[in-house]
Structure 1
Amino acid sequence: MTYTAEDWPIAAAMLQFPPLTEASGQEWLEAFTEIKDAGFDFVDLTDAAIRPGDLSAERLVELAQAIHEAGLRAPAVSAIRRSVIDAEHGDDNLAYSHRTLEAAAALGIPLVSFGLHQALSEEQKQQLWFWTVVGHQDDRDDAEAWNRAVARFRELGRHAAELGLLVSLEMYEDTFLGTSASSVRLVSEIGMDNVGLNPDLGNLLRLHRPIEPWRELCEATLPWANYWHVKNYARDEDEARDFYTAVPTPLETGVMSYREAVKIALAGGFQGAICCEHYGGDGLSVSATNRDYLRRHALPKRPGYALGTSHVTQPEPMEAL
Structure 2
Amino acid sequence: MNASLHPFTRENWPIAVCMHGFAPIAADGSRLHDASGESWDAMFRQIARLGFTAVEIADSHIRPADLSPTRRAELAAIANSHGVELLSVHVQRQSVIQPGRGEQNLAYAHRAIDAAAELGMRVFSTGLHQPFTEAQRAALWFWTAQGPVDPDDAETRALAVRRLRELGEHAGSVGLPMSLEMYEDTYLGTADSAVRLIEEIGLDNVGLNPDIGNLVRLHRPIEDWREMHEKTLPYANYWHVKNYMRDEAGDGTWQTAVPTSLELGLINYRAMVAHAVEVGFRGPFLMEQYGGDSLGVCASNRDYLRTLLPDSTDA
Classify the TM-score, shorter chain: over 0.9
Cα distance between partner residues in 2 of 1:203 and 1:275: 14
Cα distance between partner residues in 2 of 1:238 and 1:179: 22
Q: CA deviation at 1:58?
A: 1.1
The answer for the alignment partner of 2:273 in structure 1 is 262
The answer for the alignment partner of 1:227 in structure 2 is 238
The answer for the alignment partner of 1:289 in structure 2 is 300
The answer for the alignment partner of 2:19 in structure 1 is 14
Cα distance between partner residues in 1 of 2:46 and 2:155: 45
2:108 is aligned with 1:96: yes
The answer for the alignment partner of 1:5 in structure 2 is 10
2:307 is aligned with 1:302: no
2:163 is aligned with 1:158: no
- Letter in structure 2 aligned against 1:100: A
Cα distance between partner residues in 2 of 1:135 and 1:239: 26
- Specify the SS of the correspondent of 1:251: coil
2:55 is aligned with 1:50: no
- Specify the SS of the correspondent of 1:240: coil
- Specify the SS of the correspondent of 1:252: coil
Specify every segment of 5 or more residues in structure 1 that has no aligned partner in the other structure, as ranges. 306-321
Q: CA deviation at 1:180?
A: 0.3
Cα distance between partner residues in 1 of 2:290 and 2:70: 33
Q: CA deviation at 1:303?
A: 4.3
Cα distance between partner residues in 2 of 1:50 and 1:209: 32
Equivalent pairs counted in the alignment come to 303
The answer for the alignment partner of 1:77 in structure 2 is 89
Judge conservation of contact 1:67–1:73 (CA < 8 Å) in 2. yes
The answer for the alignment partner of 2:29 in structure 1 is none
- Letter in structure 2 aligned against 1:16: G
- Specify the SS of the correspondent of 1:253: coil
Cα distance between partner residues in 1 of 2:262 and 2:193: 26
- Using structure 1 for the length normalisation, give the TM-score: 0.92
- Specify the SS of the correspondent of 2:33: coil
- Letter in structure 1 aligned against 2:59: D
Cα distance between partner residues in 1 of 2:254 and 2:239: 29
Aligned residue runs from structure 1 range 144-293, under 5 A:
144-240=155-251, 242-293=253-304
- Using structure 2 for the length normalisation, give the TM-score: 0.94
Measured against aligned partners, the alpha-carbon deviations of 1:132-190 in whole angstroms (never above 9, x if no partner) come to 01101112x21111001100011001111111111000000110000000000001000
Q: CA deviation at 1:32?
A: 1.1
Cα distance between partner residues in 2 of 1:287 and 1:138: 31
Measured against aligned partners, the alpha-carbon deviations of 1:278-307 in whole angstroms (never above 9, x if no partner) come to 0001101000110011112x11123444xx
- Specify the SS of the correspondent of 1:21: helix
- Letter in structure 1 aligned against 2:264: T
The answer for the alignment partner of 1:318 in structure 2 is none
Cα distance between partner residues in 1 of 2:255 and 2:206: 34
Judge conservation of contact 1:3–1:303 (CA < 8 Å) in 2. no
The answer for the alignment partner of 2:3 in structure 1 is none
Q: CA deviation at 1:241?
A: 5.3
Q: For the structure 1 residues 197 and 303, does the alpha-carbon distance in structure 2 shift closer, same or farther, using more than 3 Å as the test?
A: farther
Measured against aligned partners, the alpha-carbon deviations of 1:168-220 in whole angstroms (never above 9, x if no partner) come to 00000110000000000001000000101011111000001111111111110
Which moved further from structure 2: 74-83 or 190-199? 74-83
Q: CA deviation at 1:33?
A: 1.1
Judge conservation of contact 2:89–2:124 (CA < 8 Å) in 1. yes
- Letter in structure 1 aligned against 2:201: I
Q: Identity across aligned pairs (percent)? A: 54
Q: CA deviation at 1:92?
A: 1.2
Cα distance between partner residues in 2 of 1:183 and 1:241: 25
**Aligned match for 1:23, one of 35, 38, 41:** 35
Moved over 4 A (4+): none
- Specify the SS of the correspondent of 1:245: strand
Q: For the structure 1 residues 304 and 2, does the alpha-carbon distance in structure 2 shift closer, same or farther, using more than 3 Å as the test?
A: farther
Q: CA deviation at 1:49?
A: 1.2
Judge conservation of contact 1:200–1:229 (CA < 8 Å) in 2. yes
The answer for the alignment partner of 2:123 in structure 1 is 111
